Amino acid sequence: MRIGVFDSGYGGLTILEQFRALLPQYSYVYLGDNARTPYGTRSFDVVYQYTLQCVKKLFEMDCALVILACNTASAKALRTIQQKDLPLLYPNRRVLGVIRPTAECIGQITQSNHVGLLGTEGTIQSGSYPMEVNKLFPHITVTGQACPMWVPLIENNEHLSDGADYFVKQYIDKLLQNDPAIDTMVLACTHYPMLLDKIKKHAPKHMHIISQGPIIAESLASYLQKHPEIDAVLDKQGDCTFYTTESVEKFKQSASTFLKTPIEAHHLSW
Ligand code: DGL
């Protein structure tokens, strides 16, 4: 069986890349729901329905474990899938998200105890991050800033253009106007590491900028150590297969930019 990695589009590739660097022995199936991206502006119910549909597909493709490498899906669909759908449909399979492991790291990094959260509208509005962070670190103030232009810039391969600087600066400035004491910014959307150079350029020099990939990879490694029953059923041939709900050609081209290496991809039909 394999490990499924799901995102609304290309963003989850920044997580997959770190999985393959830290845990190269496992076999992965990546599914990007590019036909319906972005999820960030969609309602709870729609994100839940789309995510569940994709998780089911990954289970049909023999995934024992699926990582929602998407903050929006983790914020809006993970809990219902874990509590309602899995026990009924797939009691022996697991679905994990990206919010909890990220929240666990934040307390060790901030010194001012003021943290800024950059994410999609859906992730920010869900309030999932402040809730998770404050369960563990009640003294930390979390201020969110939705960045609705960032995912479209990345999905359309415009993230390195000069035009992208305008939107990167705009959201960082807004966040820091709302809380100038922030010393740590979380890139709470798996697409955003693609904008890292520009984010660093427009953020104050002292700012800690957290990308999720390495954090989620460490957390998967420790999950597999603690769950030998899942680890035992996982294939260890180091394969990776890519699926998209949109055009295969477009996916291959963009995913190769994300991963900096050519890949093959397949179309997912429902
Ligand atoms: N990459 C996704 C996330 O981490 C979502 C992007 C989107 O579809 O809006 O939130």
What is the predicted pLDDT for the residue at 127?
Answer: 95
State residue 22's pLDDT score: 98
Domains of the chain with bracketed CATH:
2-97+214-267 (3.40.50.1860), 100-211 (3.40.50.1860)
- Ligand 1 pocket residues where CB is under 6 Å: 7-9, 11, 37-40, 70-72, 120, 123, 151, 189-191
Q: How confident is the model at residue 207 (pLDDT cuts 50, 70, 90)?
A: very high
- pLDDT score at 114: 98
Residue 257's pLDDT is what?
83
Mark whether 147 is an active-site residue: no
pLDDT, residue 270, reads 82
The stretch 239-247 carries a mean pLDDT of 97
CA distances from 240 to 228, 229, 237, 251 (A): 22, 22, 9, 15
Per residue in 129-162, pLDDT (tens digit) is 999 999 999 999 999 999 999 999 988 889 999 9
Region 166-171: what's the mean pLDDT? 98
Task: Write the pLDDT tens digit of every residue in 33-66.
Answer: 999 999 999 999 999 999 999 999 999 999 999 9
pLDDT at residue 103 is higher than 90: yes
Asked if residue 11 has pLDDT above 90, the reply is yes
Residue 269: pLDDT band by 50, 70, 90 thresholds? confident
Q: Which two tokens stand for residue 25?
A: 């022995």
What pLDDT score does 169 carry? 98
- Total residues found in the chain within this entry: 270
Confidence of residue 26 (pLDDT cuts 50, 70, 90): very high
The pTM assigned to this predicted structure is 0.94
Q: Which atom of ligand 1 is the closest one to the Cα of 11?
A: 1
Question: How is 163-219 classified by DSSP, letter by letter?
Answer: HHHHHHHHHHHHHHHH-TT--EEEE-STTGGGGHHHHHHHS-TT-EEE-SHHHHHHH
Percent of the chain surpassing pLDDT 70: 100
Q: Which residues neighbour 255 within 8 Å (Cβ) at sequence distance 6 or greater?
A: 10, 13, 32, 242, 263, 265
Measured in Å, residue 70 CA sits from the centre of ligand 1 at 5
Say which of 54, 63, 70, 147 is annotated catalytic: 70
Is-catalytic flag, 189?
A: yes
Structure token digits, residue 60: 């049909």
